[in-house]
Copies of this chain bind each other. A is one copy, B any other.
Amino acid sequence: MTKVAVIAGVGPGISAATARRFAAAGYQVALLARRRDALDPLAAETGGRAYPCDLTSPEDVTKTFAAIRADLGEVEVLVYNAGGGVFADVEHITPDDFEASWRVNAYGALLCSQAVIPAMKAAGNGAIVFIGATASRRGGPRSAAFAAGKAAQRALAESMARSLWPAGIHVALIVVDGVVDLARTRAQRPDKPASFFIKPEGVAETVYQLCQQDRSAWSFEVEARPFGETW
């Protein structure tokens, strides 16, 4: 029986690399994002399955995870990569910006987690990895909305780690501290050398290795930061 890894929040960077990494290790990958056209090529490439889903909708999440269970079996690994938010200070965000950031970074993470915890708990085994950011730890002047969402996600992850580790569920958080190497980010920073960027494959490898750790020596929070970054 093939093990199942869900990648929630699929785009061109970390999530795609993570899907490839788990597929290469023999996992069946379930790919979740709002739009199907973002999912199909990656599903084809990885032999995975695409599930269009609004991750911030309780009904959608419930329905989607039921479908995954029916199609592929119980989920062993959940990687929550959905995220984002406007970058502006408190004077230049709207309450709706603030809410949108919280909803995708934190509320959706709760919904997906609650969808997989019961079966993981029954199995006494599983991993839930959240993809965080610098803002998970630090509220910068221009991350009034984004940092509040990521901090809520981090607090949820920490609470979950404390309550779920003893049940054999490895909850962890990756703090992506830098700019991920994408066509889009390269275009935005044409002045920067390749060494400035975080390779999605590097983050994906760390996600994968976290899921291989012996349970006597688990990590909760792990940074992924380029060697040339000032921090």
Assess whether A152 is interfacial by the CB under 8 Å rule: yes
Q: Is the Cβ of A225 less than 8 Å from the Cβ of B220?
A: yes
Pick the residue among B139, B150, B162, B220 that contacts A141 (CB under 8 A): B162
Q: Which of A21-29, A66-74, A95-103 lies at the interface with chain B? A: A95-103
Q: Is the Cβ of B227 less than 8 Å from the Cβ of A223?
A: no
Interface residues on A, range: 35 or more
Task: From known contacts A148-B106, A151-B152, A163-B90, infer whether A214 and B228 are also in contact, taking CB-CB under 8 Å.
Answer: no
Q: Is the Cβ of B159 less than 8 Å from the Cβ of A90?
A: yes
Pick the residue among B143, B152, B156 that contacts A106 (CB under 8 A): B152
Q: Beyond the given A91-B121, A139-B154, A205-B214, could you list 12 further A-B residue pairs with CB under 8 A, ordered by the A residue number?
A: A91-B118, A95-B107, A151-B152, A151-B155, A166-B228, A198-B216, A199-B216, A201-B214, A206-B219, A217-B224, A218-B226, A220-B225
